[in-house]
């Protein structure tokens, strides 16, 4: 569905069903340079199992208009505005990589509206190699290639796919190449408030990590889990692009966490 957020047309993926504010809402937040399609399968499962799905494309990404946001803090505030625009009250925030940082910034603004937070393949801080940012500024496609080569785990480098016939690296490459990757990476690199925000979360939280993650190494994710006081769930054989690489395993982790809350 398309909604107006701060005067801009914004696309919100709803998992193939009409958005219904009366249902519990799962908010799926994409990572740097990506869009809602990294959650394609998980979104459909939640939408057809009693939840409303709210998976936005950030401003200037894929189907959403507007200038890209330059800081994680701005992204957090924008998410609150988007939820308000859609009339959403209570939310389960689930963020991949940069999407989790965004959730951390949105959480204090949302206060008691946050039912839970889940972190997938991420950490409290995501420093980015300046060379990658510079490359993204000069040539988004080249930077996307660098990220995808680094970001997908070994099986996916060998062309495996959870969806028969598809090439997730190719899909990711097309999405990233057309999105403001450099702005996103710079926002991640400049963000330093994650640990403090994480330690102040009071809602139920969960951390899901990938053992082959080289973008946000697992040791950093484990530190985040320690800060949050939870035992991280590790998905073996997957890299940083967890929602695309291991949609079924990541969905199972998301399902079991959210169902535990009931």
Q: What minimum distance in Å lies between the beta carbon of 41 and other proteins?
A: 6
Binding piece for other proteins, criterion CB under 8 A, among 13-21, 187-195, 208-216, 224-232:
13-21
Strand order in the sheet with 52-56: 2-5, 8-13, 52-56, 25-29, 91-96, 114-120, 205-210, 233-235
Q: What minimum distance in Å lies between the beta carbon of 151 and other proteins?
A: 11
Q: Is 111 in the site for other proteins (CB under 8 A)?
A: no
Beta carbons of 51 and 26 less than 8 angstroms apart: yes
Q: What minimum distance in Å lies between the beta carbon of 223 and other proteins?
A: 30
Q: How many residues does the chain have?
A: 262
Residues in 112-141 that interact with other proteins by CB under 8 A = 141
**How many Cβ atoms from other residues are within 10 Å of residue 261's Cβ?**
12
Which tokens sit at 194?
């994650």
Largest CA distance in the chain: 48
Across 210-239, b (16+ Cβ under 10 Å) vs e yields bebbebbebebbbbbbebbeeebbbbeebb
Of 163 and 196, nearer to other proteins (C-beta) is 163
Q: Is 63 in the site for other proteins (CB under 8 A)?
A: yes
DSSP 8-state class, residue 202 = -
Instruction: Identify any residues that bridge with 11 across adjacent strands, giving them in sequence order.
Output: 2
Of 16 and 229, nearer to other proteins (C-beta) is 16
Of 111 and 158, nearer to other proteins (C-beta) is 158
Q: How far is CA 248 from the centre of its chain?
A: 16
In the list 11, 100, 191, 257, the residue contacting other proteins (rule: CB under 8 A) is 11
Q: What minimum distance in Å lies between the beta carbon of 160 and other proteins?
A: 6
Binding piece for other proteins, criterion CB under 8 A, among 41-49, 93-101, 107-115, 188-196:
41-49
In the list 44, 85, 214, 217, the residue contacting other proteins (rule: CB under 8 A) is 44
Residues in 140-199 that interact with other proteins by CB under 8 A = 141, 145, 148-149, 155, 157-167, 169-171, 173-175
DSSP 8-state class, residue 240 = S
Angle at 173 between CA 171 and CA 179, to 5 degrees: 110
Q: Is 4 in the site for other proteins (CB under 8 A)?
A: no
**How many Cβ atoms from other residues are within 10 Å of residue 165's Cβ?**
5
Cα(188)–Cα(191) distance, rounded to whole angstroms? 5
In the list 16, 127, 130, 229, the residue contacting other proteins (rule: CB under 8 A) is 16
Binding site for other proteins (CB under 8 A): 11, 13, 16-17, 35, 37, 40-41, 43-45, 48, 62-63, 141, 145, 148-149, 155, 157-167, 169-171, 173-175, 247-248, 251
């Amino acid at each position: 569905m398309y909604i107006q957020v701060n005067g801009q047309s914004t696309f919100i993926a709803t998992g193939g069903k009409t958005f219904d504010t009366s249902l519990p809402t799962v908010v799926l937040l994409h990572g740097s340079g990506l869009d809602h399609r990294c959650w394609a399968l998980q979104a459909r499962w939640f939408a057809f199992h009693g939840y409303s799905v709210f998976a936005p494309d950030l401003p200037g990404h894929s189907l959403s208009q507007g200038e890209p946001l330059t800081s994680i803090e701005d992204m957090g505030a924008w998410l609150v505005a988007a939820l308000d625009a859609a009339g959403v009250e209570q939310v389960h925030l689930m963020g991949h990589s940069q999407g989790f940082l965004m959730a951390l910034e949105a959480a204090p603004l949302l206060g008691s509206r946050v039912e839970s937070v889940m972190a997938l393949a991420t950490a409290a801080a995501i420093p980015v190699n300046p060379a990658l940012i510079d490359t993204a500024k000069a040539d988004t496609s080249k930077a996307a290639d660098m990220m995808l080569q680094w970001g997908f785990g070994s099986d996916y480098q060998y062309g495996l796919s959870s969806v028969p016939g598809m090439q997730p690296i190719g899909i990711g490459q097309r999405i990233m190449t057309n999105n403001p990757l450099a702005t996103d990476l710079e926002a991640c690199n400049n963000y330093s408030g994650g640990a403090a925000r994480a330690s102040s979360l009071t809602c139920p939280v969960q951390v899901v990590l990938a053992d082959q993650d080289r973008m946000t190494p697992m040791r950093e994710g484990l530190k985040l889990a320690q800060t949050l006081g939870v035992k991280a769930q590790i998905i073996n054989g997957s890299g940083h692009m967890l929602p695309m690489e291991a949609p079924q395993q990541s969905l199972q982790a998301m399902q079991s966490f959210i169902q535990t809350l009931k």
